[in-house]
């Protein structure tokens, strides 16, 4: 059986979601090919242009995932989503509601409200969030199609700083968990996949490397390896030696 996952009504095979905001546009197409990505995210505010539109550089079979960056509250997120639908026909929307210009950390409270507003308007909401179980449950109840917790502050390449909290989401939330932001190396992407994350999103790590195509490929391979390891179930790591005569061996 093929290993696929679903977001809303759509099915995907590739577990690598590519960010697009930091590239030289000519390089995007080959990055997508080397990453073998099926979904690419982009800021709506970035496609709100008449010159050098990033949409013109993306192959038609790739699913466009506009994000609402620039939104500072749920109403603005909805307005941006509506413009995105007009400009690119998109129905999947990555919700970003950010009230901090320095660290660009998401506002879980406003994001939850945005999920509800977008779901009520026929969108497939994909909220970017700080990994908090209660907030994730609220987002699920509000109609989220997946949960996108951050691994580390965006652009930092620091990896899975929030690992334990993402694990909790993976265990408790019955939606795809897509680790978004902070992933700086293929090994970190592999680690997220080994934990049971559904998919990984990366942008800065690839866009700012000096060999974009090979870095995209390295991420693709790491994500596939991590996924395969997760599916194969790990052998248990034991800290203590196994006693040769078990303590409870006397039981009849």
Partner 1 sequence: MQEKYFPDMEKIESDIENKILKIADNIDFSQYSENDVKKAIKTENCSIQDFCALISPAAKKFIEEIATKAKSERERYFGKNVYFFTPLYISNYCENHCIYCGFNCKNNIKRAKLDLDEIENELIAIKKTGLEEILILTGESRKMSDVNYIANATKLAKKYFKNIGLEIYPLNTNEYNILHESGADYITVFQETYDKKEYTKNHLKGHKSIYSYRINAQERALKGNMRGAGFGALLGLGDYKKDTLATALHIHFLQKKYPKSEFAVSVPRLRPTIANADINPKNIGELELLQIMCAYRIFLPYINMTISTRERAEFRNNAVKIAATKISAGVSTGIGEHAQKKEGDNQFEIADPRSVEEIYTALKNIDMQPVMNEYVWV
Active site residues: 94
Dihedral, 21, 165, 63, 189 alpha carbons, nearest 10: 70
What minimum distance in Å lies between the beta carbon of 212 and partner 1?
A: 11
Judged by CB under 8 A, which of 2, 52, 56, 174 binds partner 1?
52
By CB under 8 A, the residues from 120 to 179 that bind partner 1 are: 155-157
> Per CB under 8 A, does 79 bind partner 1?
yes
| Piece in contact with partner 1 (CB under 8 A), picked from 16-24, 118-126, 225-233, 237-245 | 16-24
Cα angle: 24, vertex 28, 33; to 5 degrees:
155
| Tokens 């995209």, located at residue | 216
Contacts to partner 1 from residues 177-236, by CB under 8 A = 204, 207-208
Write a three-state SS string for 76-112: HHHHHHHHHHHHHCCCEEEECCECCCCCCCECHHHHH
- Give the count of residues interacting with partner 1 (CB under 8 A): 33
Give the strand order in the sheet containing 124-129: 148-149, 124-129, 92-95, 63-67, 39-43, 16-18, 199-202, 178-180
Between 46 and 137, CB nearer to partner 1: 46
Sites of contact with partner 1 (CB under 8 A): 21-25, 43-46, 48-52, 70-72, 76, 79-80, 83, 98-102, 104, 155-157, 204, 207-208
């Amino acid at each position: 059986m093929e290993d696929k996952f679903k977001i809303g009504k759509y099915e995907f095979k590739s577990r690598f979601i590519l960010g697009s905001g930091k590239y030289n546009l000519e390089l995007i197409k080959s990055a997508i090919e080397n990453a073998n990505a099926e979904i690419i995210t982009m800021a709506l505010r970035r496609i709100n242009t008449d010159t050098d539109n990033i949409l013109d550089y993306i192959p038609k079979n790739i699913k466009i995932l506009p994000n609402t960056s620039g939104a500072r509250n749920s109403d603005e997120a909805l307005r941006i989503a509506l413009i995105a639908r007009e400009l690119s026909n998109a129905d999947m929307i990555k919700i970003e509601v950010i009230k901090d210009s320095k660290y660009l950390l998401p506002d879980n409270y406003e994001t939850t409200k945005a999920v509800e507003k977008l779901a009520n308007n026929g969108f497939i909401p994909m909220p970017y969030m700080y990994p908090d179980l209660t907030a994730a449950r609220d987002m699920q109840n509000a109609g989220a199609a997946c949960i996108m917790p951050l691994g580390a502050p965006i652009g930092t390449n620091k990896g899975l700083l929030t690992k334990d909290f993402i694990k909790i989401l993976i265990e408790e939330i019955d939606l795809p968990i897509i680790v978004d932001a902070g992933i700086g190396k293929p090994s970190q992407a592999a680690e997220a996949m080994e934990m049971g994350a559904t998919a990984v999103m990366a942008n800065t790590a690839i866009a700012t490397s000096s060999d974009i195509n090979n870095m995209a490929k390295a991420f693709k391979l790491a994500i596939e390896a991590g996924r395969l390891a997760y599916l194969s179930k790990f052998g248990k790591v034991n800290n203590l030696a196994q006693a040769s005569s078990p303590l409870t061996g006397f039981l009849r």
